[in-house]
Amino acid sequence: MVRRRFFFRRLARGAGVVALALASVFFVLVALYAFAPPVSTLMLARLIEGRGYERIYVRLRDIAPVAAASVIASEDARFCSNDGVDWGALHEALNGAEGPRRGASTITMQTAKNLFLWPGRSVIRKGVEIGMALVLGKVWSKPRTIEIYLNIAEWGDGVFGAEAASRADFGKAAKELSPREAALLAGALPNPKLRDPRRPSRGYLRRAATIARLSSPDADWLDCLQVK
């Protein structure tokens, strides 16, 4: 009994040390990524596997405002007003008949997941993701958060970020995207490997048209981006 108690005490102490170390790494990276170009876990995984990836980091001012607006309209319409977590949507998703859904995941949460966490779904991972998103919502500005998301989102096999996606799909820089092209790119998320902006299906075109109607960069709800 004494040995077992000693074992569990050491195990708990070791788990605490590991948790503290991981938290320290997280906060260091949050501070670093506040000004430095970030690398997502998917990018790192591709490098480890020897596959490489294509990503051209650009500042938010070098992405067409309508592109940022389109992604927000498609992925997280309350981006400018939430604290990193959309509590109302999260409550609805968690209590839905189908269980947790991606619809409750804000852009800040997706950014946290892509930068720091592993793929997959679990209650533990979602809880960690929410905690990280709340930290990012306090530390990073909204323009910085959307800038990072637009540079790490996967838009195809090994294609990351709006700039690389824009060049691959439309042969132009992200700052030159038209409203239709921006809506098509935004509509490809979260299944860019199944939705090709160059060969959109009828349903995909309807989705893009809806995004285009909602994503005027002059809308008041986009004031937080300072991209007007």
Spell out, as residue ranges, where the chain has pLDDT lower than 50. Answer: 97-102, 228
Q: Quick one: pLDDT at residue 9?
A: 65
pLDDT score, position 93: 67
| pLDDT of amino acid 89 | 78
pLDDT, mean over the chain = 85
Residue 100: what pLDDT?
45
Q: Which pLDDT value is given to residue 8?
A: 58
pLDDT digits 0-9 by tens, 172-183: 999 999 999 999
Output the pLDDT for position 57.
Answer: 96
d(CA 176, CA 64): 6
